[in-house]
């Protein structure tokens, strides 16, 4: 079975930002993936790899887009998926995952507890433990974003990408290397309360955050994948942080521009063209990775505005 579950997503150039700011902004619309986010790319790569080795059981501990994409891929490939989520996970997301036939177990008050419990089950049962961001198979899958972009547009001057645990970022770096885009600058975005990459990059070593305090829950990894920091040292990287308010406002701006809801995690990247015009000059081309996110109910988003 070589049929791809993830789709080749379109790139649109922003007519709004061209007219208002004379800027050349390209949006890579992974919000249009069947699961609403790029996560499906890595999950498909990972699942197929293990499936071909005979694995039929998978377990994850993400109540967000990683668990959701794993459930989607598992359903279509025909493997069993269990997702352990902490009590903080919304009924909205639990239902979405359960609708795909995955087993959802609520365990622990915070993600770390659900994570340790899922790892224990994995050891006891032999189910494949699936990390939300720290696995070379995920990075390989995510790198297909840049493969597609390289067919769709000329090499951009800058790429803007949100960072949670750094899995997407590793994929972007891998794709840039593959496609000869190494000279492009990468602007990484996080919200101030989830700046695990920003802080680690400044310190030149992995810094573990004591807590996450951000609306952008999909960026809420206390500790980034080591590989993301290592790879970053070989690229031209400019990490920035944005406020929760900017991330939310950017999501609404994007809703107005394209009629699609994205998470504040994605809004963090969209904040650059909308609210940080000084980071982009008029003759530059900028590729913004619209990572998407299905974990946003419109009424929740409205209540945070």
Q: Residue 292, interface with ligand PLP (CB under 6 A)?
A: yes
Smallest separation (angstroms) from ligand PLP to the CB of 239: 12
* The token pair that represents 211 in the structure block: 């807590």
Q: Residue 218, interface with ligand PLP (CB under 6 A)?
A: yes
Q: Which of 167, 239, 267, 273 binds ligand PLP (CB under 6 A)?
A: 167
Stretch that binds ligand PLP, among 6-14, 105-113, 213-221, 278-286 (CB under 6 A): 213-221
Smallest separation (angstroms) from ligand PLP to the CB of 39: 5
Q: Which is nearer to ligand PLP, 24 or 271 (CB)?
A: 271
* The token pair that represents 90 in the structure block: 């919304």
Q: Which is nearer to ligand PLP, 79 or 262 (CB)?
A: 262
Site for ligand PLP in 73-132 (CB under 6 A): none
Closest CA to 265 of 280, 287, 246: 246
Q: Residue 162, interface with ligand PLP (CB under 6 A)?
A: yes
Residues 6+ apart with CB under 8 A from 240: 187, 188, 189, 190, 198, 272, 276, 279
Axis crossing angle, helix 65-77 with helix 91-99, rounded to the nearest 10: 10
Smallest separation (angstroms) from ligand PLP to the CB of 56: 25
Q: Which of 35, 65, 122, 188 binds ligand PLP (CB under 6 A)?
A: 65
3 state SS of 144 = helix
Cα(189)–Cα(191) distance, integer angstroms: 7
Q: Residue 168, interface with ligand PLP (CB under 6 A)?
A: yes
Going by DSSP bridges, is the β-strand pair 158-162/185-191 parallel, antiparallel, or unpaired?
parallel
Instruction: Kindly write out the interface string for residues 19-58 of this chain, putting x where it contacts ligand PLP by CB under 6 A and - elsewhere.
Output: ------------------x-x-------------------
In the chain the beta strands, taken as DSSP E runs, fall at: 11-13, 24-29, 57-60, 80-85, 103-106, 128-130, 158-162, 185-191, 237-242, 285-290
Q: Residue 291, interface with ligand PLP (CB under 6 A)?
A: yes
Residue 106 has phi, psi (to 5 degrees) of: -90, 125
3 state SS of 153 = coil
Site of interaction with ligand PLP (CB under 6 A): 37, 39, 64-65, 133, 162-169, 218-219, 221, 263, 265-266, 291-293
């Amino acid at each position: 079975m070589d049929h791809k579950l993830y789709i080749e997503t379109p790139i649109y150039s922003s007519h709004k930002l061209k007219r208002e700011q004379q800027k050349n902004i390209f949006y890579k619309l992974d919000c249009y993936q069947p699961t609403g986010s790029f996560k499906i790319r890595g999950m498909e790569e990972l699942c197929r790899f293990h499936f071909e080795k005979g694995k039929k059981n998978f377990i994850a501990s993400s109540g967000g887009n990683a668990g959701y994409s794993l459930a989607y891929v598992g359903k279509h490939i025909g493997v069993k998926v269990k997702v352990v989520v902490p009590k903080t996970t919304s009924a909205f997301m639990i239902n979405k995952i359960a609708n795909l036939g995955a087993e959802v177990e609520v365990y622990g008050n915070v993600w770390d507890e659900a994570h340790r419990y899922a790892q224990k089950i994995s050891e006891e049962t032999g189910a494949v433990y699936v990390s939300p961001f720290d696995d070379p198979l995920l990075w390989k899958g995510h790198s297909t974003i840049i493969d597609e972009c390289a067919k769709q547009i000329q090499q951009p001057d800058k790429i803007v990408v949100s960072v949670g645990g750094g899995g997407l970022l590793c994929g972007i770096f891998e794709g840039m290397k593959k496609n000869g885009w190494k000279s492009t600058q990468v602007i990484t975005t996080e919200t101030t309360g989830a700046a695990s990459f920003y802080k680690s990059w400044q310190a030149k070593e992995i810094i573990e955050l004591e807590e996450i305090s951000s609306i952008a829950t999909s960026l809420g990894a206390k500790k980034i994948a080591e590989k993301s920091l290592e790879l970053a040292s070989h690229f031209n990287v400019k990490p920035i942080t944005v406020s929760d308010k900017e991330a939310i406002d950017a999501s609404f701006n994007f809703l107005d521009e394209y009629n699609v809801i994205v998470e504040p995690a994605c809004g963090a990247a969209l904040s650059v063209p909308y609210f940080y015009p000084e980071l982009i000059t008029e003759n530059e081309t900028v590729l913004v990775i619209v990572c998407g996110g299905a974990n946003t109910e419109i009424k929740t988003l409205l209540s945070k505005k």
